[in-house]
């Protein structure tokens, strides 16, 4: 009977990375950002049995931006600084504890005064109006996790938004 909680912990307590997108208002505009969660265990029975979500160790991410239809690469890729909300600055490799608070990194910065959208990491590549696909790639303890999201850049306010 003592081994049962250990087996449950090994199966249901593993890190579970969830990728989402959001936008965040900043002083001069808006940032389209990627969020990474390692949500805590929510099942009441598993919590009662003492199963806890383990910390996701050695997490690293990258992204590239492509035109939506043609898949032509606009921004070839970047290993961004991931902000973990633990009181320190951004890092390219993180450990992500079980929490409803996400780790984040910026993809697009739209500046209201400039009326333009830029790639967040470098702020030199201007994104002309159009539909784009951001390819998001994470590695967690050597295991790849990939997804894609679509965003639109416009000539009018808000200049960039997730679709």
Domains in the chain and their CATH numbers? 16-162 (2.60.40)
Q: For the stretch 25-60, what's the b/e string if a residue is b when 16 or more beta carbons lie within 10 angstroms of its beta carbon?
A: eeeebbbbbbebbbeebeeeebeeeebebeebeebe
Q: Please, are residues 52 and 46 in contact by the beta-carbon 8 Å criterion?
A: no
pLDDT in tens, 40-64: 999 998 888 888 999 998 899 999 9
pLDDT in tens, 68-85: 999 999 999 888 888 887
Higher pLDDT, 2 or 17: 17
The pTM assigned to this predicted structure is: 0.88
Rounded to 5 degrees, φ, ψ at 38 are -125, 80
Mean pLDDT of the chain: 89
CA–CA gap between residue 29 and residue 113 (Å, rounded): 8
Rounded to 5 degrees, φ, ψ at 15 are -60, 145
């Amino acid at each position: 009977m003592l081994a049962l909680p250990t087996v449950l912990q090994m199966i249901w307590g593993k890190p579970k990375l969830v990728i989402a997108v959001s936008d965040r208002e900043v002083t001069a505009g808006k940032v389209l950002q990627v969020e990474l969660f390692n949500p805590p265990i929510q099942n009441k029975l598993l919590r009662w049995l003492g199963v806890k979500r383990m910390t996701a160790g050695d997490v690293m991410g990258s992204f590239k931006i492509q035109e939506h239809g043609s898949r032509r690469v606009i921004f070839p890729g970047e290993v961004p600084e991931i902000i973990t909300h633990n009181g320190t600055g951004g890092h390219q490799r993180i450990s992500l504890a079980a929490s409803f608070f996400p780790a984040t990194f910026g993809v697009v910065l739209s500046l209201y005064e400039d009326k333009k959208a830029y790639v967040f990491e470098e702020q030199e590549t201007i994104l002309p109006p159009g539909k784009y696909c951001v390819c998001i790639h994470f590695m967690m303890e050597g295991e790849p996790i990939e997804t894609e999201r679509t965003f639109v850049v416009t000539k009018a306010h808000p200049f960039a938004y997730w679709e």
